[in-house]
Amino acid sequence: MQSLLLLAAVGLAAAETGIKGWLRYAPVPSANASSLPTNIISLNASSNGPVHAAAVELQNGVAGIFNHSLNVLYPTSYQLSNTGSSIVIGTVAEYANTFGGAPKIPQLEDDGYFLNTTGSSVQILGHNERGALYGAFQYLSMLAQGNFSEVAYASNPSAPIRWVNQWDNLDGSIERGFAGPSIFWANGTVKVNSLDRVTQYGRLLASIGVNGIIINNVNANASALTPQNIEGIGRIADTFRPYGVRVGLALNFASPSANLVYGNLSTFDPLDPRVIDWWQNVTDTIYATVPDMAGYLVKANSEGQPGPLTYNRTLAQGANLFANALQPHGGTLVFRAFVYDSVHLNESVWTEDRANAAVQFFTGLDGKFAENAVVQIKYGPIDFQVREPASPLFSYLQNTSTAIELQVTQEYLGQQCHLVYLPPLWKEILDFDMRTNHTKSLVRDIVTGKRFKRPLSGYAAVVNVGTNDTWLGSHLSMSNLYGYGRMAWDPTSDPQSILEDWVRLTFGFDPTVMSTITNMSMSSWPAYENYTGNLGIQTLTDILYTHFGPNPQSQDGNPWGQWTRADGHSIGMDRTVSNGTGFSGQYPAEVAAVYENISSTPDNLLLWFHHVNYTTPLKSGETVIQHFYNAHYEGSNTAQTYPTQWSALKGKVDAQRYNETLFRLTYQAGHSLVWRDAITNFYHNLSGIADTQKRVGNHPYRIEAESMNLTNYEPYTVSPFETASNFTAIVTSANATTGTASTMLNVQSGTYDVAVNYYDLYGGKAQYSLALNNKQIGAWTGNLEDVLGHTPSIYLDGHSAARITFRNVTIAKGDVLKITGKADGVEPAPLDYISVLPLGVVD
Ligand code: GCU
């Protein structure tokens, strides 16, 4: 016991970069190797197959968890009569072959497995090799969590399609990726000489049951199809193959006219025989290199992408072009439902609505898609917002296979700089009942093919891992990737118990670690919704620039269609049939009736469906505007607790992951205040209605930078105005690089936290120092762009606004506080305000 405890302690002390994700196989204190079988028998022994990978994984896992090595034996070199105590892994068919008879086990489906730990031997049997691998990962997950109980059960996935999408560009950048460059691509080609991260990604994906991956951006570049790239894609497919992850490609619809080597056509009309031949030829060529390619993903006629509508062909005709080319090879065509006109939507027309687009574009097409085609539908009708109703297209397409599209990468949800645990959001959508034909029609039963009896169906998640050691940019965000796989395997799973499994696997067994991460994660989506955009108004971020910080104004007055229609008196999209855009009528009658009326619409979707006065009372009794104020304060108050909660884990989590996470949670606490203040000030300004609790616009502990004594600093009017306290910041003067801002503190002598709000721009690393009576109490550099990974900003705005806090500063009345800022590059050491906070106060 003592040596195991020692080992555990050593495990903690070792630096953990996060690169192992949840597959750490850390020593488990209660693991006793004498309870283990004596060897591993790998039945399907082909060296690059999933069963072989599973045997190796079992060997490595056991070595880590038990500090004990097991041999892997192959039937050819082993006396089968001697299987007294083994971990037997293989397909059911191979088991029957080897042992002369099928095991008596429950019905398995594709990718399903049977796990039996009740005897002296452990049986891990898959319907196919992939299923056996999933069973091995499940067994290892039990052991790694210290669960040595006897189990015997079968598990089958809820749907055949459990894919991830990577929005990787061929130049190595990743659209909406926040963890560094691509693990697949660089400089226009596949990184064939450094695919180790691909192997590791394959293991992570297999361990959560993911069986397919699209390896390039949906805004696709035709050059993915050059012979050199096809060869590279083959290498990626070879690397993923042992993990049962099949590779697919995102296509550019106009590729035939992109001057690739396959003959440059002047058209990409999907019904033109030359175009049909062109795609068949390219598809055959790819399958010659990747015989098990999963298929294609196509984004067409959306956000500037080419598509069949250019030739007056339907979306189904466009999709079937590829489906037909894939059909002889057994490939699947996934066609995105994310189709809308981002050029002509006109907000001045009351009845126009981007939310209507998907059902409108697919009207008349149900049943027109080829059997191997699947329509991939974002969970909500707009775009991965913090709160949306489930897309009505799930109910509209009844004779077409569908998959739900989720986002693990937190494009609109804090870009991995804010902790937001997403499975609770996904579960609300998956559990939603569409009441199609007045019959129970849960979204999860639709996307698993059960409700409308569809053969193909499932899930896709945009993940966007990068080369960062943490995969997603933040250690805690990995719970979202883990949760995605688990929910796709079984959408009835409980998000909190998934999270608890992930915590044990990722951070070990300390009960405080468990309760802290669980508390923070489970409160994080509600908190984020509260401080970014509540009542169904959507994430009030900057939709014209990066989707990170606040900018409510940017939602309106442009054709992107994420409108709020806010004016001085009222706010919200009227999506009723009776008086609005008619969107609510896209749902089956029972659901439509709920959303059509304000009285039956849930508060959290009120402004999604209705345009109301700020003074309209909610079901809670609060008015809309007071709820805005209260929610934003409540949400950011929750975020304030995260760094404190996390600090209790010092010494219980290894230093590297502890420090990196503390840094992010501290950033989030500060940025949640930027959100809170921006949104509440914006609507306070617009409505002229005061906060009954007198918080909005009232900041007794702040000293505005522009009101300090400035040397070589000057006031700067920030846009959008609400992203600066009192609308104004200061920047160093054009003719100087170093400026100072000082003030005499008129506070009671005592201990304070001193918070400084500043702006951290991309393109410079300004340096700051904070001094009290000329004695430095802190210094920092404006280098968040190197550390955080969110899309950087070159302006003073809601993306670049940040806060740094110096704790427990002893201050006497009359002390002089001085900040010195040294500009660098385009970053003029911008400052917004300083808060001198009695302990426990947030302002
Ligand atoms: C969002 C996102 C884009 C992406 C698009 C899509 O609009 O901001 O970057 O290309 O969705 O899903 O296709």
Residues 799-829 as b or e (16 or more Cβ within 10 Å = b) = bbbbbbbbeebebeeebebbbbbbbbeebbb
Q: At 789, phi and psi to the nearest 5?
A: 85, -5
Domain containing 228 — which CATH number? 3.20.20.80
Q: Considering the candidates 175, 231, 277, 303, report the single residue annotated as catalytic.
A: 303
Alpha-carbon distance 595 to 585, whole Å?
9
Q: Under 8 Å CB-to-CB from 297, ≥6 apart: which residues?
A: 165, 214, 218, 248, 249, 250, 251, 334, 336, 376, 460
| Same-domain check for residues 151 and 278 | no
Q: What CA–CA distance (Å, rounded) separates 105 from 322?
A: 39
Q: CB of 51 within 8 A of CB of 42?
A: yes
Helices (H) and strands (E) in the chain, counts: 20, 29
Which residue among 693, 712, 737 closes a domain?
693
Nearest-angstrom CA–CA distance, 186 and 172: 4
Please tell me if the CB atom of residue 241 comes closer than 6 angstroms to any atom of ligand 1.
Answer: no
In-domain check, residue 566: yes
Q: Ligand 1 pocket check: which of 298, 338, 462, 547 to mutate, most ligand atoms within 8 Å of Cβ?
A: 338
Q: 535 CB contacts (<8 Å, ≥6 apart)?
A: 572, 603, 604, 605, 606, 607, 618, 624, 627, 628, 631
Q: Which atom of ligand 1 is the closest one to the Cα of 217?
A: 10
pLDDT, tens digit, 9 for 90 and up, residues 649-667? 999 999 999 999 999 999 9
**Which letter, b or e, does each residue of 33-46 get, where b requires 16 or more Cβ atoms within 10 Å of its Cβ?**
eeebbebbbbbbbe
Catalytic residue among 383, 542, 574, 706: 383
Residue 17 belongs to a domain: no
What's the pLDDT score for residue 81?
62
Nearest residue (CA) to ligand 1, atom 13 = 218
CB atoms under 10 Å from CB of 7, counted, come to 15
CB 596 within 8 A of CB 504: no
**Are residue 265 and residue 141 in the same domain, yes or no?**
no
Q: Residue 814: inside a domain, yes or no?
A: yes
User: What CA–CA distance (Å, rounded) separates 310 from 332?
Assistant: 24
Alpha-carbon torsion angle 113, 119, 122, 128, nearest 10: -30
Q: In Å, how far are 313, 421, 433, 458, 490 from 398, measured between CA atoms?
A: 22, 31, 15, 14, 22
Tens of pLDDT along 689-710?
A: 999 999 999 999 999 999 999 9
The answer to whether 74 and 45 have CB atoms below 8 angstroms apart is yes
The CA distance from 213 to 462, in Å, is 10
Burial of 195 (0-12, 13-18, 19+ CB in 10 A): buried
667 is written with which tokens? 């950033």
pTM, 2 dp: 0.97
CB 325 within 8 A of CB 283: yes
CA dist., res. 753 & res. 833, Å (int): 14
Residue nearest to atom 7 of ligand 1 (CA): 383
Please say whether the beta carbons of 268 and 260 come within 8 A.
no
- Going by alpha carbons, the residue nearest to atom 1 of ligand 1 is 383
Q: How far apart are CA 474 and CA 417, in angstroms?
A: 7
> Same domain, yes or no, for 195 and 292?
yes
Question: Would you say the C-alpha torsion 744, 746, 748, 751 has a positive or negative sign?
Answer: negative
Give Cα 19 distance to the centre of its chain: 17
Side by side, which strands form the sheet with 816-822? 709-711, 738-744, 816-822, 767-772, 775-781
Same domain, 109 and 167: no
CB 243, CB 202: distance < 8 Å: yes
496 lines ligand 1 (CB under 6 A): no
**Residue after which a domain boundary falls, among 131, 155, 179:** 155
Residue 74: predicted pLDDT: 87
pLDDT score at 5 = 41
- Cβ atoms within 10 A of the Cβ of 6, count? 11
- Note the pLDDT of residue 805: 97
Is 19 within the bounds of a domain?
no
Number of domains the chain contains: 5
Angle made by CA atoms 288, 291, 294, in degrees to the nearest 5: 125
Separation between Cα atoms, residue 290 and residue 232, nearest integer Å: 10
Residue 383 Cβ inside 6 Å of ligand 1? The answer reads yes
Do 170 and 118 fall into the same domain?
Answer: no
Tokens of 731: 């920047």
Residue 716 makes CB contacts below 8 A (sequence gap 6+) with 728, 729, 730, 731, 796, 830
Residue 9, domain member (yes or no):
no
Taking the CB of residue 746, how many other CB atoms lie within 10 A of it?
10
Find the catalytic residue in 94, 411, 501, 660.
411
Pocket test for ligand 1, best of 301, 383, 415 (most atoms within 8 A of CB): 383
671: helix, strand or coil: helix
First vs last C-alpha separation in the chain: 50
Backbone phi and psi for residue 805, each to the nearest 5 degrees, phi listed first: -125, 135
Say how many Å lie between the CA of residue 344 and the centre of ligand 1. Answer: 18
Distance of CA 556 to the CA centre of its chain: 26
Scan for tokens 């899930």, then name that residue.
Answer: 459
| Residue 303 designated active-site | yes
Q: Is the CB of 654 under 6 A from ligand 1?
A: no
Q: How far is the CA of 193 from the centre of ligand 1 (A)?
A: 30
Residues making up the chain, counted from first to last: 843
Which CATH number does the domain housing residue 711 bear?
2.60.120.260
Q: Are 54 and 89 in contact (CB under 8 A)?
A: yes
Cβ(175) – ligand 1 distance below 6 Å: yes
- Give the position of tokens 């008619």: 582
> What is the CA(125)–ligand 1 centre distance, in A?
40
Cα(305) to ligand 1 centroid in Å equals 11
818 alpha carbon – ligand 1 mean position (Å): 44
> Are 397 and 533 part of one and the same domain?
no
Predicted pLDDT of residue 77: 62
- Both 405 and 453 in one domain: the answer is yes
Q: Are residues 327 and 463 in the same domain?
A: yes
Query: What pLDDT shows up at residue 375?
Result: 98
* For residue 588, cis peptide bond before it (omega within 30 degrees of 0): no
Active site residue 383: yes
- Distance set, CA 543 to CA 246, 385, 511, 557, 789 (Å): 34, 11, 41, 11, 18
Residues of the chain with confidence (pLDDT) below 70: 1-14, 77-84
Domain-embedded: residue 2: no
Q: Same structural domain for residues 48 and 104?
A: yes
Which residue has its alpha carbon closest to ligand 1 atom 11? 383
SS3 readout for 43-112: CCCCCCCHHHHHHHHHHHHHHHHHCCCCEEECHHHCCHHHCCCEEEEEEHHHHHHHHCCCCCCCCCCCCC
330-342: burial string, b at 16+ Cβ within 10 Å, e else: ebbbbbbbbbbbe
> Would you say residue 843 lies in a domain?
no
Please spell the DSSP secondary structure of 556-609, one letter per residue. SSSTT-------SSEES----TTTS-SGGGGS-HHHHHHHHSTTTS-GGGHHHH
Q: Which domain holds residue 295?
A: 161-507
pLDDT, residue 102, reads 87
- Give the distance (Å) from ligand 1 centre to CA of residue 258: 22
Statement to judge: residues 168 and 234 lie in one domain: yes
52 pocket-lining for ligand 1 (C-beta < 6 Å):
no
Q: Is 573 in the pocket of ligand 1 (CB under 6 A)?
A: no
pLDDT of 808 reads 97
* Residue 425 token pair: 């959001």
Residues 616 and 529 in one domain: yes
Ligand 1 pocket test: which of 168, 176, 298 has the largest number of ligand atoms within 8 Å of its C-beta?
176
Q: What is the number of the ligand 1 atom nearest to the C-alpha of 219? A: 10
Q: Compute φ and ψ for 500, nearest 5 degrees.
A: -65, -40
CATH number, domain of 38, equals: 3.30.379.10
Last residue of a domain, one of 507, 529, 553: 507
- Residue 190's DSSP bridge partners are 185
User: Half-sphere exposure of 487 toward its Cβ, with a 13 Å CA cutoff?
Assistant: 30
The verdict on residue 320 lying in a domain is yes
Question: Does the C-beta of 176 come closer than 6 Å to ligand 1?
Answer: yes
Phi, psi of 70 (to 5 degrees): -115, 145
Ligand 1 atom closest to residue 299's alpha carbon, by position in its atom list: 13
Instruction: Mark whether 683 and 721 lie in a shared domain.
Output: no
